[in-house]
Amino acid sequence: MNHRLKLPLEFYQSEDVVGFARQLLGCVLYTQIDGIVCGGLICETEAYAGITDKASHAYGGRKTPRTGVMYESGGLAYVYLCYGMHYLFNVVTGPQDVPHAVLVRGVVPVAGKDEMSRRLGKPLTALRTDGPARLTKVLGIDLAMNRQSLLGNRVWIAGDGLTLSQHEIETTSRIGVEYAGEDANLPYRFLINAESKARLRAYYQ
């Protein structure tokens, strides 16, 4: 994989957070820790549409020490601790003061798989990185990466040339946001379908 093809700053300035979440599918999320590069092809995302989205941390214009990064110009990582147990990784998108973010919920391992297995404590053949908590563990993402630029060399996203057809992508409502009322039903979750994801896993095995 060519992990030098970082997505440019302008890619992160889109105000269409829902379209942006879909566009992230097939891109690769990379980290570099102690000189070791690990990467996962993004296969599942969820959009959170700022102050009008009841599921968003920024709904109603909320701005706290934790969520302040969402109000920055797009191209930053938003990492937070969920239930005091798991780190979740989000991509901040949109212009300054438009607090859009996309949660990355799943990846297919493509680089540094031995290190990923060590972090997860499972053999390479059993490595699965579905779920937002598991992917941060295998990629070594924690609060130290919060607010990091996605144009740097610690955490970044690359467009490595994978093109997905419409029939390979599923659109559903988001997971675990029942508190958002009617907004819980918004079609803001995107994922590569099971058949295509299995093919990708086999290809990168």
The secondary element (H helix, E strand) that includes residue 157 is strand 155-158
Tell me what pLDDT residue 161 has. 65
Tell me what pLDDT residue 1 has. 46
CATH architecture under which domain 9-204 falls: Roll (3.10)
Mean pLDDT by 10 residues, the chain (205 residues): 77 96 96 97 97 96 94 98 90 97 96 96 86 96 97 93 88 96 97 94 86
Tell me what pLDDT residue 4 has. 60
Tell me what pLDDT residue 3 has. 55
- 46, 83, 178 from 183: Cα distances, Å: 13, 22, 8
Which 3 state secondary structure label does DSSP give 27?
coil
What does the domain layout of the chain look like in residue ranges?
Answer: 9-204
